[in-house]
Structure 1
Protein backbone atom coordinates (compact mmCIF):
# COMPACT_ATOMS: atom_id res chain seq x y z
CA UNK A 1 0.00 0.00 0.00
CA UNK A 2 2.83 2.38 0.91
CA UNK A 3 4.52 1.66 -2.42
CA UNK A 4 1.29 2.46 -4.31
CA UNK A 5 0.87 5.70 -2.36
CA UNK A 6 4.48 6.70 -3.06
CA UNK A 7 4.02 5.92 -6.77
CA UNK A 8 0.82 8.01 -6.88
CA UNK A 9 2.54 10.97 -5.20
CA UNK A 10 5.50 10.75 -7.59
CA UNK A 11 3.24 10.71 -10.65
CA UNK A 12 1.26 13.68 -9.28
CA UNK A 13 4.44 15.73 -8.81
CA UNK A 14 5.59 14.85 -12.32
CA UNK A 15 2.26 16.00 -13.77
CA UNK A 16 2.38 19.26 -11.81
CA UNK A 17 5.94 19.87 -12.99
CA UNK A 18 4.94 19.26 -16.61
CA UNK A 19 2.07 21.72 -16.28
CA UNK A 20 4.33 24.40 -14.80
CA UNK A 21 6.69 24.05 -17.76
CA UNK A 22 3.98 24.86 -20.28
CA UNK A 23 3.99 28.44 -21.59
CA UNK A 24 1.42 30.76 -19.98
CA UNK A 25 -1.92 31.00 -21.74
CA UNK A 26 -2.05 34.78 -22.20
CA UNK A 27 -5.33 36.33 -23.32
CA UNK A 28 -5.33 37.38 -26.97
CA UNK A 29 -5.70 41.12 -27.71
CA UNK A 30 -9.07 42.11 -29.15
CA UNK A 31 -8.75 42.85 -32.87
CA UNK A 32 -9.69 46.38 -33.91
CA UNK A 33 -10.83 47.38 -37.38
CA UNK A 34 -10.90 51.12 -36.69
CA UNK A 35 -8.18 52.96 -34.73
CA UNK A 36 -10.42 55.96 -34.03
CA UNK A 37 -11.06 56.49 -30.31
CA UNK A 38 -8.43 53.90 -29.34
CA UNK A 39 -7.03 54.56 -25.87
CA UNK A 40 -3.25 54.17 -25.48
CA UNK A 41 -1.48 54.06 -22.11
CA UNK A 42 2.07 55.44 -22.08
CA UNK A 43 4.27 54.82 -19.05
CA UNK A 44 7.54 56.79 -19.17
CA UNK A 45 10.49 56.14 -16.86
CA UNK A 46 10.93 59.88 -16.17
CA UNK A 47 9.81 63.15 -17.71
CA UNK A 48 12.67 64.91 -15.93
CA UNK A 49 14.87 64.05 -18.91
CA UNK A 50 14.55 65.88 -22.26
CA UNK A 51 15.05 62.63 -24.18
CA UNK A 52 11.92 61.05 -22.73
CA UNK A 53 9.95 64.27 -23.12
CA UNK A 54 10.75 64.10 -26.86
CA UNK A 55 9.81 60.41 -26.91
CA UNK A 56 6.47 61.24 -25.28
CA UNK A 57 5.89 64.05 -27.76
CA UNK A 58 6.48 61.64 -30.64
CA UNK A 59 3.88 59.26 -29.23
CA UNK A 60 1.27 61.96 -28.58
CA UNK A 61 1.72 63.65 -31.96
CA UNK A 62 1.40 60.45 -33.99
CA UNK A 63 -1.52 59.19 -31.88
CA UNK A 64 -3.40 62.46 -32.41
CA UNK A 65 -2.87 62.18 -36.17
CA UNK A 66 -4.51 58.75 -36.05
CA UNK A 67 -7.41 59.82 -33.83
CA UNK A 68 -6.12 57.97 -30.77
CA UNK A 69 -6.14 59.18 -27.16
CA UNK A 70 -3.01 58.87 -25.02
CA UNK A 71 -2.89 58.72 -21.21
CA UNK A 72 0.65 59.56 -20.05
CA UNK A 73 2.08 58.60 -16.64
CA UNK A 74 5.50 59.49 -15.26
CA UNK A 75 7.25 56.85 -13.13
CA UNK A 76 9.79 59.43 -11.86
CA UNK A 77 12.51 56.77 -12.08
CA UNK A 78 10.71 54.70 -9.42
CA UNK A 79 10.20 51.11 -10.56
CA UNK A 80 7.58 50.37 -7.89
CA UNK A 81 5.59 53.48 -8.90
CA UNK A 82 5.79 52.40 -12.53
CA UNK A 83 4.28 49.00 -11.79
CA UNK A 84 1.40 50.72 -9.96
CA UNK A 85 1.00 53.22 -12.80
CA UNK A 86 0.63 50.41 -15.34
CA UNK A 87 -1.96 48.67 -13.14
CA UNK A 88 -3.91 51.96 -13.02
CA UNK A 89 -3.76 52.26 -16.82
CA UNK A 90 -5.15 48.73 -17.14
CA UNK A 91 -7.98 49.69 -14.75
CA UNK A 92 -8.75 52.64 -17.04
CA UNK A 93 -9.34 50.22 -19.91
CA UNK A 94 -6.50 51.12 -22.27
CA UNK A 95 -6.45 49.21 -25.56
CA UNK A 96 -2.64 49.02 -25.72
CA UNK A 97 0.30 49.81 -23.44
CA UNK A 98 3.50 51.59 -24.43
CA UNK A 99 6.10 51.19 -21.68
CA UNK A 100 9.52 52.78 -21.32
CA UNK A 101 10.76 50.72 -18.35
CA UNK A 102 12.64 52.22 -15.43
CA UNK A 103 13.95 48.73 -14.66
CA UNK A 104 13.71 45.88 -17.17
CA UNK A 105 13.31 43.21 -14.49
CA UNK A 106 10.92 45.07 -12.18
CA UNK A 107 8.48 45.94 -14.97
CA UNK A 108 7.99 42.26 -15.83
CA UNK A 109 5.10 41.77 -13.37
CA UNK A 110 3.21 44.68 -14.93
CA UNK A 111 3.80 43.31 -18.43
CA UNK A 112 2.45 39.93 -17.34
CA UNK A 113 -0.64 41.61 -15.85
CA UNK A 114 -1.28 43.24 -19.21
CA UNK A 115 -0.80 39.88 -20.92
CA UNK A 116 -3.43 38.31 -18.68
CA UNK A 117 -5.82 41.16 -19.51
CA UNK A 118 -5.29 40.77 -23.25
CA UNK A 119 -3.72 44.24 -23.58
CA UNK A 120 -0.78 44.26 -26.01
CA UNK A 121 2.50 45.71 -24.72
CA UNK A 122 5.14 47.57 -26.70
CA UNK A 123 8.36 48.68 -25.01
CA UNK A 124 10.28 51.81 -25.96
CA UNK A 125 14.05 52.39 -25.63
CA UNK A 126 14.36 49.63 -22.99
CA UNK A 127 13.07 46.08 -22.91
CA UNK A 128 11.29 43.96 -20.30
CA UNK A 129 12.92 40.77 -18.99
CA UNK A 130 9.72 38.69 -18.77
CA UNK A 131 6.21 38.65 -20.14
CA UNK A 132 5.06 38.93 -23.75
CA UNK A 133 6.11 42.13 -25.50
CA UNK A 134 4.88 42.59 -29.07
CA UNK A 135 7.95 44.56 -30.07
CA UNK A 136 10.77 46.71 -28.71
CA UNK A 137 11.22 50.05 -30.47
CA UNK A 138 14.72 51.32 -29.74
CA UNK A 139 18.07 52.37 -31.07
CA UNK A 140 20.81 49.77 -31.41
CA UNK A 141 22.36 50.55 -28.03
CA UNK A 142 25.18 48.04 -28.43
CA UNK A 143 26.21 49.65 -31.71
CA UNK A 144 26.00 53.08 -30.07
CA UNK A 145 28.35 51.99 -27.28
CA UNK A 146 30.84 50.82 -29.90
CA UNK A 147 30.56 54.15 -31.74
CA UNK A 148 31.44 55.99 -28.53
CA UNK A 149 34.50 53.81 -27.88
CA UNK A 150 35.74 54.20 -31.46
CA UNK A 151 35.42 57.99 -31.25
CA UNK A 152 37.34 58.12 -27.95
CA UNK A 153 40.17 56.06 -29.46
CA UNK A 154 40.34 58.49 -32.39
CA UNK A 155 40.59 61.45 -29.99
CA UNK A 156 42.96 60.23 -27.25
CA UNK A 157 44.60 57.10 -28.72
CA UNK A 158 44.79 53.49 -27.64
CA UNK A 159 45.37 52.53 -24.00
CA UNK A 160 44.22 55.98 -22.81
CA UNK A 161 42.73 56.12 -19.32
CA UNK A 162 38.95 56.47 -19.47
CA UNK A 163 36.00 56.26 -17.11
CA UNK A 164 32.40 55.29 -17.76
CA UNK A 165 29.26 56.83 -16.26
CA UNK A 166 26.59 54.14 -16.28
CA UNK A 167 22.82 54.61 -16.31
CA UNK A 168 20.15 53.09 -14.08
CA UNK A 169 21.28 49.62 -12.93
CA UNK A 170 19.09 46.91 -14.46
CA UNK A 171 17.85 49.02 -17.38
CA UNK A 172 18.43 47.30 -20.71
CA UNK A 173 19.83 50.54 -22.20
CA UNK A 174 22.44 50.60 -19.43
CA UNK A 175 23.42 46.99 -20.07
CA UNK A 176 23.50 47.29 -23.86
CA UNK A 177 25.37 50.59 -24.11
CA UNK A 178 27.90 49.30 -21.62
CA UNK A 179 28.23 46.01 -23.48
CA UNK A 180 28.96 47.71 -26.80
CA UNK A 181 31.41 50.14 -25.22
CA UNK A 182 33.35 47.44 -23.38
CA UNK A 183 33.54 45.16 -26.42
CA UNK A 184 36.01 47.69 -27.84
CA UNK A 185 37.21 49.65 -24.80
CA UNK A 186 38.37 46.60 -22.83
CA UNK A 187 40.73 45.72 -25.68
CA UNK A 188 41.81 49.14 -26.92
CA UNK A 189 41.49 51.48 -23.91
CA UNK A 190 42.24 51.43 -20.19
CA UNK A 191 38.87 51.69 -18.43
CA UNK A 192 39.95 52.60 -14.91
CA UNK A 193 36.47 52.79 -13.41
CA UNK A 194 32.74 52.50 -14.19
CA UNK A 195 30.12 54.03 -11.88
CA UNK A 196 26.38 54.58 -12.05
CA UNK A 197 24.97 58.11 -12.10
CA UNK A 198 21.42 56.91 -12.87
CA UNK A 199 21.08 58.88 -16.13
CA UNK A 200 20.94 62.06 -13.98
CA UNK A 201 22.82 65.33 -14.60
CA UNK A 202 23.41 66.21 -10.93
CA UNK A 203 24.61 62.70 -10.14
CA UNK A 204 26.83 62.85 -13.21
CA UNK A 205 28.48 65.98 -11.80
CA UNK A 206 28.97 64.48 -8.33
CA UNK A 207 30.26 61.13 -9.56
CA UNK A 208 32.65 62.81 -11.99
CA UNK A 209 34.06 65.03 -9.24
CA UNK A 210 34.91 61.91 -7.23
CA UNK A 211 36.36 60.13 -10.27
CA UNK A 212 38.65 63.09 -11.05
CA UNK A 213 39.92 63.05 -7.48
CA UNK A 214 40.55 59.32 -7.58
CA UNK A 215 42.01 59.31 -11.11
CA UNK A 216 43.54 62.74 -11.83
CA UNK A 217 45.04 61.50 -15.11
CA UNK A 218 41.71 60.60 -16.81
CA UNK A 219 41.77 61.40 -20.52
CA UNK A 220 38.18 60.68 -21.55
CA UNK A 221 34.72 59.78 -20.23
CA UNK A 222 31.87 57.90 -21.83
CA UNK A 223 28.54 58.84 -20.29
CA UNK A 224 25.66 56.54 -21.19
CA UNK A 225 23.36 59.52 -21.69
CA UNK A 226 23.68 63.25 -22.36
CA UNK A 227 22.36 64.32 -18.97
CA UNK A 228 25.25 62.57 -17.20
CA UNK A 229 27.68 63.83 -19.85
CA UNK A 230 26.64 67.45 -19.24
CA UNK A 231 26.95 66.97 -15.49
CA UNK A 232 30.41 65.44 -15.96
CA UNK A 233 31.37 68.39 -18.15
CA UNK A 234 30.52 70.81 -15.31
CA UNK A 235 32.81 68.87 -12.95
CA UNK A 236 35.60 68.82 -15.54
CA UNK A 237 35.33 72.56 -16.20
CA UNK A 238 35.53 73.25 -12.46
CA UNK A 239 38.67 71.12 -12.21
CA UNK A 240 40.39 72.96 -15.06
CA UNK A 241 41.27 69.69 -16.77
CA UNK A 242 40.99 68.87 -20.47
CA UNK A 243 39.01 65.64 -20.74
CA UNK A 244 37.12 64.33 -23.78
CA UNK A 245 33.43 63.76 -23.00
CA UNK A 246 31.08 61.63 -25.10
CA UNK A 247 27.36 61.37 -24.33
CA UNK A 248 24.45 59.39 -25.72
CA UNK A 249 20.97 60.54 -26.89
CA UNK A 250 21.43 63.75 -28.85
CA UNK A 251 19.17 65.94 -26.71
CA UNK A 252 18.92 69.68 -27.37
CA UNK A 253 21.22 70.74 -24.53
CA UNK A 254 23.91 68.33 -25.69
CA UNK A 255 23.69 69.44 -29.31
CA UNK A 256 23.99 73.10 -28.24
CA UNK A 257 26.98 72.23 -26.05
CA UNK A 258 28.69 70.51 -28.99
CA UNK A 259 27.98 73.51 -31.23
CA UNK A 260 29.52 75.79 -28.57
CA UNK A 261 32.67 73.64 -28.50
CA UNK A 262 32.13 72.25 -25.00
CA UNK A 263 30.82 68.67 -25.22
CA UNK A 264 32.93 66.65 -27.66
CA UNK A 265 30.33 64.28 -29.07
CA UNK A 266 27.06 62.42 -28.56
CA UNK A 267 25.64 59.25 -30.05
CA UNK A 268 22.37 60.77 -31.21
CA UNK A 269 19.09 58.91 -31.08
CA UNK A 270 15.77 60.02 -32.53
CA UNK A 271 13.35 59.89 -29.60
CA UNK A 272 10.40 61.42 -31.46
CA UNK A 273 10.83 58.82 -34.18
CA UNK A 274 10.88 56.06 -31.54
CA UNK A 275 7.55 57.38 -30.23
CA UNK A 276 6.07 57.53 -33.73
CA UNK A 277 7.22 54.01 -34.61
CA UNK A 278 5.76 52.70 -31.34
CA UNK A 279 2.32 54.13 -32.13
CA UNK A 280 2.44 52.68 -35.64
CA UNK A 281 3.38 49.29 -34.20
CA UNK A 282 0.53 49.51 -31.67
CA UNK A 283 -1.90 50.23 -34.50
CA UNK A 284 -0.66 47.24 -36.48
CA UNK A 285 -0.95 44.92 -33.47
CA UNK A 286 -4.48 46.11 -32.70
CA UNK A 287 -5.48 45.43 -36.30
CA UNK A 288 -4.16 41.87 -35.97
CA UNK A 289 -1.04 42.38 -38.06
CA UNK A 290 2.30 40.79 -37.18
CA UNK A 291 5.16 43.08 -36.21
CA UNK A 292 8.88 42.39 -35.88
CA UNK A 293 10.24 41.61 -32.42
CA UNK A 294 12.57 44.60 -32.68
CA UNK A 295 12.03 47.84 -34.59
CA UNK A 296 15.26 49.87 -34.82
CA UNK A 297 15.59 53.65 -34.97
CA UNK A 298 18.81 54.91 -36.65
CA UNK A 299 21.78 56.37 -34.71
CA UNK A 300 24.40 58.91 -35.71
CA UNK A 301 27.52 60.32 -34.05
CA UNK A 302 27.32 64.10 -33.71
CA UNK A 303 30.51 66.17 -33.30
CA UNK A 304 31.33 69.81 -33.93
Structure 2
Protein backbone atom coordinates (compact mmCIF):
# COMPACT_ATOMS: atom_id res chain seq x y z
CA UNK A 1 0.00 0.00 0.00
CA UNK A 2 2.83 2.40 0.85
CA UNK A 3 4.48 1.87 -2.53
CA UNK A 4 1.23 2.67 -4.33
CA UNK A 5 0.70 5.72 -2.11
CA UNK A 6 4.14 6.92 -3.12
CA UNK A 7 3.22 6.64 -6.79
CA UNK A 8 0.01 8.55 -6.17
CA UNK A 9 1.86 11.27 -4.32
CA UNK A 10 4.31 11.61 -7.20
CA UNK A 11 1.45 11.97 -9.66
CA UNK A 12 -0.27 14.58 -7.52
CA UNK A 13 2.90 16.63 -7.19
CA UNK A 14 3.34 16.70 -10.97
CA UNK A 15 2.26 19.77 -12.92
CA UNK A 16 1.94 18.10 -16.28
CA UNK A 17 -0.81 19.42 -18.54
CA UNK A 18 -2.75 17.43 -21.09
CA UNK A 19 -0.53 16.86 -24.11
CA UNK A 20 -1.95 18.35 -27.28
CA UNK A 21 -5.03 19.72 -25.51
CA UNK A 22 -6.69 22.56 -27.39
CA UNK A 23 -8.67 24.49 -24.78
CA UNK A 24 -10.12 27.02 -27.15
CA UNK A 25 -13.67 27.12 -25.80
CA UNK A 26 -13.55 23.49 -24.74
CA UNK A 27 -13.46 21.68 -21.40
CA UNK A 28 -10.48 19.50 -20.49
CA UNK A 29 -12.14 17.17 -17.97
CA UNK A 30 -15.65 16.26 -16.86
CA UNK A 31 -16.60 15.07 -13.38
CA UNK A 32 -20.11 13.63 -12.95
CA UNK A 33 -20.92 13.46 -9.23
CA UNK A 34 -23.85 11.41 -7.95
CA UNK A 35 -25.06 14.16 -5.61
CA UNK A 36 -23.91 17.39 -4.01
CA UNK A 37 -26.38 16.99 -1.15
CA UNK A 38 -23.74 15.25 0.94
CA UNK A 39 -20.62 16.80 2.56
CA UNK A 40 -18.46 13.90 1.39
CA UNK A 41 -19.06 14.67 -2.29
CA UNK A 42 -18.61 18.38 -1.65
CA UNK A 43 -15.13 17.44 -0.40
CA UNK A 44 -14.46 15.45 -3.57
CA UNK A 45 -15.53 18.43 -5.68
CA UNK A 46 -13.20 20.73 -3.75
CA UNK A 47 -10.23 18.40 -4.19
CA UNK A 48 -10.89 18.02 -7.92
CA UNK A 49 -11.13 21.79 -8.38
CA UNK A 50 -7.86 22.36 -6.50
CA UNK A 51 -5.98 19.78 -8.57
CA UNK A 52 -7.43 20.98 -11.87
CA UNK A 53 -6.51 24.57 -11.07
CA UNK A 54 -2.98 23.55 -10.12
CA UNK A 55 -2.61 21.87 -13.51
CA UNK A 56 -4.17 24.74 -15.45
CA UNK A 57 -7.10 22.60 -16.58
CA UNK A 58 -10.74 23.49 -17.11
CA UNK A 59 -13.08 21.01 -15.38
CA UNK A 60 -16.85 20.76 -15.66
CA UNK A 61 -18.36 19.31 -12.45
CA UNK A 62 -22.00 18.23 -12.55
CA UNK A 63 -24.56 17.04 -9.99
CA UNK A 64 -26.82 14.13 -11.00
CA UNK A 65 -29.02 14.57 -7.90
CA UNK A 66 -28.96 10.77 -7.48
CA UNK A 67 -30.59 10.24 -10.88
CA UNK A 68 -28.66 7.74 -13.06
CA UNK A 69 -30.34 9.04 -16.21
CA UNK A 70 -28.83 12.45 -15.51
CA UNK A 71 -25.37 10.90 -15.61
CA UNK A 72 -26.00 9.63 -19.12
CA UNK A 73 -26.99 13.15 -20.17
CA UNK A 74 -23.96 14.60 -18.42
CA UNK A 75 -21.60 12.24 -20.22
CA UNK A 76 -23.17 13.32 -23.50
CA UNK A 77 -22.51 16.93 -22.51
CA UNK A 78 -18.89 16.14 -21.70
CA UNK A 79 -18.29 14.48 -25.06
CA UNK A 80 -19.89 17.44 -26.85
CA UNK A 81 -17.38 19.65 -25.03
CA UNK A 82 -14.51 17.54 -26.37
CA UNK A 83 -13.24 16.59 -22.93
CA UNK A 84 -10.00 14.62 -22.93
CA UNK A 85 -11.13 12.39 -20.05
CA UNK A 86 -14.19 11.94 -17.82
CA UNK A 87 -14.66 10.95 -14.19
CA UNK A 88 -17.89 9.38 -12.97
CA UNK A 89 -19.03 8.87 -9.39
CA UNK A 90 -21.88 6.45 -10.15
CA UNK A 91 -25.35 6.95 -8.72
CA UNK A 92 -25.77 3.21 -9.24
CA UNK A 93 -23.00 0.81 -10.21
CA UNK A 94 -25.21 -1.05 -12.71
CA UNK A 95 -26.97 1.99 -14.14
CA UNK A 96 -23.61 3.70 -14.74
CA UNK A 97 -22.75 1.26 -17.54
CA UNK A 98 -24.68 3.17 -20.26
CA UNK A 99 -23.19 6.48 -19.09
CA UNK A 100 -19.68 5.07 -19.38
CA UNK A 101 -20.63 3.67 -22.79
CA UNK A 102 -21.41 7.18 -24.03
CA UNK A 103 -17.87 8.29 -23.25
CA UNK A 104 -16.24 5.17 -24.58
CA UNK A 105 -18.03 5.44 -27.93
CA UNK A 106 -16.59 8.94 -28.21
CA UNK A 107 -13.16 7.45 -27.36
CA UNK A 108 -13.02 9.40 -24.09
CA UNK A 109 -11.26 7.51 -21.25
CA UNK A 110 -13.24 7.18 -18.01
CA UNK A 111 -12.19 7.04 -14.37
CA UNK A 112 -14.70 5.67 -11.86
CA UNK A 113 -14.58 7.45 -8.51
CA UNK A 114 -15.61 6.23 -5.04
CA UNK A 115 -17.95 3.62 -6.53
CA UNK A 116 -17.23 1.02 -9.16
CA UNK A 117 -19.03 0.38 -12.45
CA UNK A 118 -20.52 -3.10 -12.80
CA UNK A 119 -19.47 -3.58 -16.37
CA UNK A 120 -16.70 -2.86 -18.87
CA UNK A 121 -15.45 0.55 -19.81
CA UNK A 122 -13.80 2.32 -16.87
CA UNK A 123 -10.04 2.62 -17.30
CA UNK A 124 -9.52 2.65 -13.54
CA UNK A 125 -11.52 2.87 -10.30
CA UNK A 126 -10.31 5.06 -7.44
CA UNK A 127 -12.04 4.40 -4.13
CA UNK A 128 -11.48 4.10 -0.42
CA UNK A 129 -10.78 0.60 0.84
CA UNK A 130 -14.40 0.06 1.81
CA UNK A 131 -14.08 -3.60 2.75
CA UNK A 132 -11.18 -2.88 5.11
CA UNK A 133 -13.14 0.06 6.49
CA UNK A 134 -16.16 -2.15 7.16
CA UNK A 135 -13.99 -4.61 9.07
CA UNK A 136 -12.48 -1.75 11.05
CA UNK A 137 -15.96 -0.46 11.91
CA UNK A 138 -17.02 -3.93 13.10
CA UNK A 139 -13.98 -4.29 15.34
CA UNK A 140 -14.40 -0.78 16.75
CA UNK A 141 -18.07 -1.30 17.53
CA UNK A 142 -17.44 -4.75 19.04
CA UNK A 143 -14.72 -3.43 21.30
CA UNK A 144 -16.93 -0.54 22.42
CA UNK A 145 -19.61 -3.12 23.33
CA UNK A 146 -17.20 -5.37 25.17
CA UNK A 147 -17.88 -8.16 22.70
CA UNK A 148 -21.56 -8.57 23.60
CA UNK A 149 -24.81 -6.93 22.54
CA UNK A 150 -27.44 -6.41 19.87
CA UNK A 151 -26.61 -4.30 16.85
CA UNK A 152 -28.59 -2.46 14.16
CA UNK A 153 -27.00 -1.95 10.74
CA UNK A 154 -28.04 0.99 8.54
CA UNK A 155 -26.99 0.10 5.01
CA UNK A 156 -26.18 2.59 2.28
CA UNK A 157 -27.80 3.12 -1.10
CA UNK A 158 -28.63 -0.23 -2.74
CA UNK A 159 -26.85 -0.80 -6.03
CA UNK A 160 -23.68 1.07 -5.09
CA UNK A 161 -20.37 -0.72 -4.71
CA UNK A 162 -19.57 1.37 -1.63
CA UNK A 163 -22.66 0.13 0.22
CA UNK A 164 -22.00 -3.47 -0.83
CA UNK A 165 -18.31 -3.42 0.11
CA UNK A 166 -18.80 -1.72 3.48
CA UNK A 167 -21.51 -4.25 4.30
CA UNK A 168 -19.24 -7.11 3.28
CA UNK A 169 -16.42 -5.86 5.47
CA UNK A 170 -18.74 -5.30 8.42
CA UNK A 171 -20.22 -8.79 8.14
CA UNK A 172 -16.77 -10.35 7.88
CA UNK A 173 -15.56 -8.39 10.90
CA UNK A 174 -18.54 -9.33 13.03
CA UNK A 175 -17.87 -13.05 12.55
CA UNK A 176 -15.08 -12.72 15.11
CA UNK A 177 -17.58 -11.69 17.82
CA UNK A 178 -20.14 -14.45 18.48
CA UNK A 179 -21.46 -12.55 21.48
CA UNK A 180 -22.84 -9.81 19.21
CA UNK A 181 -25.96 -10.30 17.12
CA UNK A 182 -27.11 -8.08 14.25
CA UNK A 183 -30.85 -7.92 14.96
CA UNK A 184 -31.89 -5.40 12.27
CA UNK A 185 -30.53 -4.12 8.97
CA UNK A 186 -32.09 -1.85 6.40
CA UNK A 187 -30.94 0.61 3.71
CA UNK A 188 -31.21 4.32 4.46
CA UNK A 189 -29.67 5.49 1.17
CA UNK A 190 -26.74 7.39 2.74
CA UNK A 191 -29.27 10.07 3.76
CA UNK A 192 -29.58 11.74 7.19
CA UNK A 193 -33.36 12.07 7.26
CA UNK A 194 -33.82 8.49 6.09
CA UNK A 195 -31.30 7.37 8.68
CA UNK A 196 -33.40 8.96 11.40
CA UNK A 197 -36.60 7.39 10.09
CA UNK A 198 -35.08 3.92 9.66
CA UNK A 199 -33.54 4.03 13.12
CA UNK A 200 -36.84 5.11 14.67
CA UNK A 201 -38.60 2.21 12.98
CA UNK A 202 -35.94 -0.25 14.13
CA UNK A 203 -36.33 0.91 17.71
CA UNK A 204 -40.01 0.03 17.62
CA UNK A 205 -39.10 -3.65 17.30
CA UNK A 206 -35.66 -3.63 18.93
CA UNK A 207 -35.59 -1.28 21.88
CA UNK A 208 -32.76 -3.29 23.40
CA UNK A 209 -30.13 -2.50 20.74
CA UNK A 210 -26.80 -1.50 22.24
CA UNK A 211 -24.91 -0.72 19.07
CA UNK A 212 -25.40 0.79 15.61
CA UNK A 213 -23.25 0.72 12.51
CA UNK A 214 -24.24 3.21 9.83
CA UNK A 215 -22.46 2.96 6.48
CA UNK A 216 -21.96 6.73 6.33
CA UNK A 217 -21.91 9.72 8.65
CA UNK A 218 -25.15 11.19 7.37
CA UNK A 219 -27.16 8.08 8.27
CA UNK A 220 -25.33 7.84 11.60
CA UNK A 221 -26.25 11.43 12.47
CA UNK A 222 -29.87 10.71 11.61
CA UNK A 223 -29.77 7.54 13.72
CA UNK A 224 -28.26 9.48 16.61
CA UNK A 225 -31.13 11.95 16.48
CA UNK A 226 -33.62 9.08 16.69
CA UNK A 227 -31.68 7.59 19.61
CA UNK A 228 -31.62 10.86 21.53
CA UNK A 229 -29.59 10.81 24.73
CA UNK A 230 -28.79 7.13 24.25
CA UNK A 231 -26.56 7.93 21.26
CA UNK A 232 -22.94 7.45 22.22
CA UNK A 233 -23.80 6.40 25.79
CA UNK A 234 -26.02 3.34 26.22
CA UNK A 235 -26.01 2.82 22.44
CA UNK A 236 -22.63 2.96 20.71
CA UNK A 237 -22.75 4.37 17.18
CA UNK A 238 -19.99 3.82 14.62
CA UNK A 239 -20.10 5.57 11.25
CA UNK A 240 -18.17 5.83 7.99
CA UNK A 241 -16.89 8.84 5.99
CA UNK A 242 -15.19 11.29 8.34
CA UNK A 243 -17.14 14.37 7.25
CA UNK A 244 -16.82 17.56 9.35
CA UNK A 245 -20.26 16.95 10.91
CA UNK A 246 -19.36 13.34 11.66
CA UNK A 247 -16.07 14.27 13.29
CA UNK A 248 -17.78 16.99 15.32
CA UNK A 249 -20.25 14.37 16.58
CA UNK A 250 -17.36 12.11 17.57
CA UNK A 251 -15.79 14.95 19.52
CA UNK A 252 -19.15 15.64 21.20
CA UNK A 253 -19.54 11.96 22.12
CA UNK A 254 -22.70 11.42 20.06
CA UNK A 255 -20.84 9.07 17.73
CA UNK A 256 -18.38 6.58 19.15
CA UNK A 257 -16.18 6.65 16.05
CA UNK A 258 -16.18 7.14 12.31
CA UNK A 259 -14.06 5.45 9.68
CA UNK A 260 -12.69 8.43 7.78
CA UNK A 261 -12.24 8.58 4.05
CA UNK A 262 -10.23 11.36 2.44
CA UNK A 263 -12.64 12.97 -0.03
CA UNK A 264 -10.42 15.86 -1.08
CA UNK A 265 -7.57 13.46 -1.76
CA UNK A 266 -9.95 11.26 -3.77
CA UNK A 267 -10.96 14.27 -5.87
CA UNK A 268 -7.35 15.26 -6.49
CA UNK A 269 -6.37 11.73 -7.42
CA UNK A 270 -9.31 11.44 -9.81
CA UNK A 271 -8.05 14.45 -11.75
CA UNK A 272 -4.46 13.15 -11.71
CA UNK A 273 -5.59 9.73 -12.96
CA UNK A 274 -7.80 11.30 -15.62
CA UNK A 275 -4.80 13.23 -16.93
CA UNK A 276 -2.81 10.01 -17.15
CA UNK A 277 -5.68 8.25 -18.93
CA UNK A 278 -5.96 11.12 -21.42
CA UNK A 279 -2.27 10.71 -22.21
CA UNK A 280 -2.84 7.07 -23.04
CA UNK A 281 -1.07 5.60 -20.01
CA UNK A 282 -2.04 2.13 -18.84
CA UNK A 283 -3.55 2.43 -15.37
CA UNK A 284 -4.14 -0.10 -12.59
CA UNK A 285 -7.70 -1.39 -12.60
CA UNK A 286 -8.19 -0.61 -8.92
CA UNK A 287 -6.66 2.07 -6.70
CA UNK A 288 -7.53 1.69 -3.03
CA UNK A 289 -7.12 4.71 -0.77
CA UNK A 290 -6.56 3.91 2.93
CA UNK A 291 -9.13 4.84 5.58
CA UNK A 292 -8.42 6.14 9.08
CA UNK A 293 -10.32 5.58 12.33
CA UNK A 294 -11.46 8.76 14.09
CA UNK A 295 -12.21 8.54 17.81
CA UNK A 296 -12.52 11.10 20.60
CA UNK A 297 -8.78 10.68 21.24
CA UNK A 298 -7.64 11.81 17.80
CA UNK A 299 -10.62 13.73 16.39
CA UNK A 300 -8.96 17.12 16.93
CA UNK A 301 -6.33 16.15 14.34
CA UNK A 302 -9.01 16.08 11.66
CA UNK A 303 -10.48 19.53 12.33
CA UNK A 304 -10.19 21.96 9.42
TM-score, normalised relative to structure 2 = 0.86
Q: Which residue of 2 aligns with 1:281?
A: 273
Which whole-Å CA distance do the structure 1 matches of 2:201 and 2:47 have between them?
Answer: 37
In the TM superposition, residue 36 of structure 1 has moved relative to its aligned partner by 7.6
Report whether the alignment pairs 1:265 with 2:257: yes
Distance 1:174 1:107, change over 3 A: same
Distance 1:182 1:297, change over 3 A: same
Q: Which residue of 2 aligns with 1:42?
A: 31
Report whether the alignment pairs 1:118 with 2:107: yes
In the TM superposition, residue 69 of structure 1 has moved relative to its aligned partner by 0.6
Report whether the alignment pairs 1:209 with 2:209: no
Q: Which residue of 2 aligns with 1:249?
A: 241
Runs of 4+ deviating beyond 4 Å: 238-241
In the alignment of these two chains, the number of paired residues is 274
Which whole-Å CA distance do the structure 2 matches of 1:63 and 1:40 have between them?
Answer: 9
CA contact (8 A) 2:243 2:260 kept: yes
CA contact (8 A) 1:42 1:71 kept: yes
- After TM superposition, the structure 1 = structure 2 runs for residues 132-147 of structure 1, keeping only pairs within 5 Å, are 132-147=121-136
Which whole-Å CA distance do the structure 1 matches of 2:252 and 2:170 have between them?
Answer: 26
- After TM superposition, the structure 1 = structure 2 runs for residues 223-242 of structure 1, keeping only pairs within 5 Å, are 223-237=214-228, 242=234
Q: Which residue of 1 aligns with 2:71?
A: 82
Which whole-Å CA distance do the structure 2 matches of 1:183 and 1:295 have between them?
Answer: 22
RMSD: 1.8
CA contact (8 A) 1:114 1:121 kept: yes
Equivalent of residue 101 in structure 1, options 84, 90, 101: 90
CA contact (8 A) 1:35 1:68 kept: no
Q: Which residue of 2 aligns with 1:196?
A: 187
In the TM superposition, residue 205 of structure 1 has moved relative to its aligned partner by 0.5
Which whole-Å CA distance do the structure 1 matches of 2:72 and 2:90 have between them?
Answer: 9
Q: Which residue of 2 aligns with 1:12?
A: none
Question: Residue by residue, what CA displacement relative to the aligned partner does 1:150-191 show, whole Å, maximum 9, x if unpaired?
Answer: 011101133421011111100000000000000122452311
TM-score, normalised relative to structure 1 = 0.86
